[in-house]
A = this chain, B = another copy of it.
Amino acid sequence: MFEHFKSVLKNFSGYDDEQMELICSLAENKIFKKNDYLLTPGKICRHMYFVNSGCLRFFGVNEEGVENTRYLGFRSKFASNLTSFIQFIPSEEYIQSVVETEVIVIGRTDFYRVEKNTLLGKSIYKNILERAYITTQKRIYSFQGEMAEERLTGLILKEPEILSSIPHKIIASYLGITPYTFSRLVKNKFS
């Protein structure tokens, strides 16, 4: 259940057994089936997730009905709609399980109480924000400076199993290209 979660927490600065147990007592293990919605637009994101297995997908839908995948959270990743979670405002995006996905969940109120009252909590929150920032920075670099092919190469490097583990149209959407272009890209360069 919590083993993997705990083993990740042990690497945080300010780690402390007692504080970890407190966090785990507030957290919950949950399994989502493929395509379950964890969050929908208009709702405030009141949960922090930690992915044990599977994959969570964050996406928005624009006026034309096009889905834009913002983030893919695989094993060991923390995942939450931080904009909504932090500012306590309605989310503009969906969180959905791409495949059957096992997560550790902690509610927003509990999360911030732990953040306020424990060093480990502060450390976790700081780490989540830092990583979120660095991840999105890298993502901007790739959009700004790379062609679609390079972005895909980089993604495969980070998630070697991605081509066989999640639908291609989701990868395409994450890369900011159409499924048509994606299909051609894979055909020409990755098969």
Task: Report the separation of the CA atoms of residues A143 and B141 in the bound assembly, to the nearest whole angstrom.
Answer: 10
**Is A137 interfacial (CB 8 A cutoff)?**
yes
Q: Which residue of B lies closest to A144 (CB)?
A: B176
* Residues B137 and A83 in contact, CB atoms below 8 Å apart: yes
* Residues A140 and B83 in contact, CB atoms below 8 Å apart: no
* Residues A68 and B141 in contact, CB atoms below 8 Å apart: yes
Task: Report the separation of the CA atoms of residues A62 and B141 in the bound assembly, to the nearest whole angstrom.
Answer: 10
Indicate with 1 or 0, residue by residue over A131-146, a CB within 8 angstroms of chain B CB atoms.
0111011011101110
* Residues A68 and B130 in contact, CB atoms below 8 Å apart: no
* Residues B144 and A133 in contact, CB atoms below 8 Å apart: no
Contact of A143 (CB < 8 Å), options: B126, B137, B140: B140
Contact of A140 (CB < 8 Å), options: B134, B139, B145: B139
* Residues A68 and B143 in contact, CB atoms below 8 Å apart: no
**Is A108 interfacial (CB 8 A cutoff)?**
no
Main secondary structure of the interface of A (DSSP, over half): helix
Q: Which residue of B lies closest to A93 (CB)?
A: B141
* Residues B130 and A86 in contact, CB atoms below 8 Å apart: yes
Q: Which residue of B lies closest to A136 (CB)?
A: B136
* Residues B68 and A144 in contact, CB atoms below 8 Å apart: yes
* Contact A143 B83, CB 8 Å, known A129-B126, A130-B129: no
* Residues B70 and A133 in contact, CB atoms below 8 Å apart: no
Contact of A133 (CB < 8 Å), options: B60, B133, B143: B133
Contact of A134 (CB < 8 Å), options: B83, B134, B143: B83
For this complex, 15 residue pairs linking A to B, each with C-beta atoms less than 8 Å apart, are: A70-B140, A82-B130, A83-B133, A83-B137, A87-B134, A126-B126, A126-B129, A129-B129, A129-B130, A129-B133, A136-B136, A136-B137, A140-B140, A140-B143, A143-B143
